[in-house]
Amino acid sequence: MASSSKVSRAIALVLRLVLGVVFVYAAWTKLRTPWELFAMEVDAYQLLPIKAVELVARALPWFELVVGLLLIAGFWLRTASTAIALVLAGFFTLMVRAYVKGMEIPCGCFGANDIISWKTLLRDGSLLAAAVVLVVLSFRARWKAPSASSLQDA
């Protein structure tokens, strides 16, 4: 039983580091360029009014940076992993919508040259799956009741 717990902790560590680094990198790619460039990528999805596009373009990179750093540091893991999973679910849904509609637009993930394709869908779908696993592991670790054998081992 203890080895299962160690494996779960190791998987959670790898997932949180990978997702954290991906989100910090995604934030960095957006923050090092003028926010208007990212706003154009957000607007390409043709979903939001211009004021909302501006808000998303200005706020999302900072949100990605903060949540990515929280994952890397291991702070507020349940909150950070849930936030990442929800953001990725939203991104993935919008990307699938654009792909199905035949929109040849940048996904907005890592820069303007990242056009939505089956490869970007596979990448972001994999990140979403990893985030969901991390959410499950983070909540399972918190709510898992100690077994009688683990109490005896302590």
Q: Which residue has the higher pLDDT, 151 or 62?
A: 62
| Residue carrying the six token digits 């003028």 | 34
Q: Which two tokens stand for residue 6?
A: 């160690």
What's the average model confidence in pLDDT over 95-112?
87
pLDDT in tens, 59-100: 999 999 999 999 999 999 999 999 999 999 999 999 999 999
Task: Go through 72-92 and write b for each residue having 16 or more CB atoms within 10 A of its CB, e for each that does not.
Answer: beeeebeebbbbbbebbeebb
Distance CA 152, CA 154 (A): 5
Residue 50: which of 35, 60, 40 has the closest Cα? 40
What's the average model confidence in pLDDT over 14-24?
96
Q: Which residue has the higher pLDDT, 20 or 9?
A: 20
pLDDT at 2: 55
